[in-house]
Amino acid sequence: LHFIAVVAQGAPGRDGKYKLRMTDSLVERVYNMARSKNALTFLDIQVGKSTVQEEMPRLESFLKRPDVHFGLDPEFSMKFGDPPGKKIGTMSAADINWAIDYLAKIVSANNLPPKVLVVHRFTRPMVTNYKAIKLDPRVQVVIDMDGWGAPWLKYDSYRDYVAAEPVQFTGFKIFYHNDTKSGEPILTPAEVLLLTPRPVYIQYQ
Q: What is the pLDDT along the chain (205 residues), one digit of tens a residue?
A: 999 999 999 999 999 999 999 999 999 999 999 999 999 999 999 999 999 999 999 999 999 999 999 999 999 999 988 999 999 999 999 999 999 999 999 999 999 999 999 999 999 999 999 999 999 999 999 999 999 999 999 999 999 999 999 999 999 999 999 999 989 999 999 999 999 999 999 999 9
Q: What is the DSSP letter of 133?
A: -
pTM score: 0.96
Q: Quote the domain boundaries for residue 142.
A: 2-204
Whichever domain contains 180, its CATH number is 3.20.20
Number of structural domains found in the chain: 1
